[in-house]
Amino acid sequence: MERDAAGRLTYDEPDYGDESGVRVTGRARTAAAASPFGGERNPDPCSLVMFGVTGDLAHRKLIPALYDLGCHGILPFGTTLVGYGRQAMDDEAFRSLMQQAIDDHYGVEVVDGDTCERILHRPRYVQGQFDDPEGFKRLAAVLDELDGRGSRGNRMFYLATPPSQFPVLVKQLGAAGLARPGATGGGRGQGDGAGPGWTRIVIEKPFGRDLETARDLDRVIGQVFDERQVYRIDHYLAKETVQNLLVLRFANVIFEPVWNRRYVDYVEITAAETLGVEHRAPYYEEAGALRDMITPHLIQLFSLVAMEPPAAFDADAVRDEKMKVLRAVRPIPAHAVDDWAVRAQYVAGRVEGKQVPGYREEERVAADSYTETYAALKLLVDNWRWEGVPFYLRTGKRMARRITEIAIHFKRPPVLLFRDAMAGGGLQPNVLVLRVQPDEGFSLTIESKVPGHAVALQPVAMDYSYGTTLNELPFSAYETVLVDAMEGDMTLFTRGDQAEEAWRIVGPVLEAWVSRPPRSIPIYEAGSWGPEAADALIARDGHTWRRPTKGDER
């Protein structure tokens, strides 16, 4: 695979299929073998049914991810994208919609036509309402046709719709006989399935609005699908650094012995955004930062940091250990929520040098809205490994910098041998930082001697960055999600009991915030690192938040 004079990707050999069923070309085959997926990724072909295919998620993430998989020689030959939506269009119009999504993501001048041709080959579109049985009969007829044309009877349903439509779609799939609960399929971490090909359903977040609605949704899904067919997506867990967290912990003997209360002082998990609500205001007004980010994403990251070593690296073993640590989280006392959680809302300020409006001035936001755009949460784990070590989770919009990271702060040495050599700030503790986005990688801050005759100390960061170290950047999270679902690997997907346990953890906070509507809400200026109340939350334990700047990984 090369670029021509215009910058387009080109192939210098004709198409051919290999024994794995993956459709590749001459140089694309080499690229696939050298990619992070390597030759080990061998997903099954399938009919990929996408509900909400005309929506923002499909346009910005899912369709470009399919194109990327094609560029890396990973997309199985025989896979057909089937769109289902309320908008009137034929197959050719759907093909144009897909092409537009790819062009918008990469730019027309760099999109490879041959790869697009393979990905966009004969897509199908079915028009129908989400609650229309006749529409699902038409969908079933299309899938029956595709079963004999290369999909091998494998079907994956992707619910990229508003959460309110999840139970509606699940019930209609069941009523139309499309769930096929016996067809779970084999995969890493699963047993062998039965039936003519497998059937899987991928569900986007948020999974419910609270514990009660999450349980209700689980009941609806359980009446139609087997749990082994259900893939509750958290694209954060598919990011390269998050997956590398398990390798860092369990493949390096130097970390696991100090990964406990004896050596760790506290842990921060941060997801900061510079963007506002953009076009998502109606959804965000109902959700808020706690439901949108902390419950589905940050609590899952927390479980990976805090869990015990699994017995094996497979889906069941990893998810069992995550579940154990979630159950060990100390309940937040309903009478003292303010000591454990903070909410706030951004007002006008400057972000990356540009003046931006406050949340209440954003389009389609209520002028008297009390929806939180910032949330911080303190968790304690009642087990032998973590007793007394606080975990601080925070997320916010219109923050000073876009960054998602996990920071493990270690304790200071018990005896300070170098008091005379230390600067005014004292000896700095070691900090291990795992950067999830945007600059994926990790760094370890240690104390080092300043060169010279005098003995003076300074902190230095030992840094590893995927973008500068590897010849190509890691695959996107949605590429990983799609391939894992096609392969039946459930390791990075959330199990139903995990989703419910996350809602159990934040339940007292949600109940307190709903039952005691504020007459005012703490504010923070857009472009800052959040409200003073969040600083006070962590300062009560003698700690401070990290405020990383561009290029400063300490």
Among the listed residues 72, 297, 453, 543, the single catalytic one is: 297
Distance of CA 525 to CAs 348, 374, 457, 483, 543, Å? 6, 11, 36, 41, 22
Residues facing residue 446 across a β-bridge = 460
User: What one-letter code names the amino acid at 505?
Assistant: I
Residue 532 in tokens: 């003073």
Percent of the chain that is helix, strand, coil (3-state, to 5): 40, 20, 40
Q: Positive or negative, the Cα torsion across 214, 219, 220, 221?
A: positive
Distance of CA 513 to CAs 208, 269, 288, Å? 17, 22, 11
Report which of 357, 339, 395, 343 is spatially closest to residue 518, judged by C-alpha positions.
343
Backbone angles phi, psi at 352, to 5 degrees: 50, 40
Look at phi and psi of residue 90 and say left if phi exceeds 0, alpha if psi is from -120 to 50, else beta: beta
Q: What residues contact 87, with CB distance under 8 A and at least 6 apart?
A: 54, 127
Cα-Cα-Cα-Cα dihedral of 483, 485, 487, 493, to 10°?
A: 110
Rg of the chain (C-alpha set) = 25
**DSSP letters for 358-372:** -GGGSTT--TT----
Residues facing residue 351 across a β-bridge = 354
Is there a contact between 1 and 71 (Cβ–Cβ < 8 Å)? yes
SS (H, E, C) 231-264: EECCHHHHCHHHHHHHHHHHCCCCCHHHCCCCCE
**DSSP letters for 448-494:** EEPSSSS--EEEEEEEEEHHHHSSSPPPPHHHHHHHHHHHT--TTSB
Consecutive H or E run containing 303? helix 299-306
Q: Where are the alpha helices (DSSP H) in 182-222?
A: 211-222
Q: What residues contact 181, with CB distance under 8 A and at least 6 apart?
A: 199, 224, 225, 226, 229
520 by Cβ neighbours in 10 Å (0-12 / 13-18 / 19+) ranks as exposed
335 catalytic? Reply is no
Rounded to 10°, the helix 63-71/91-106 angle is 80
Report which of 56, 1, 45 is spatially closest to residue 21, judged by C-alpha positions.
45
Residues marked as catalytic: 297
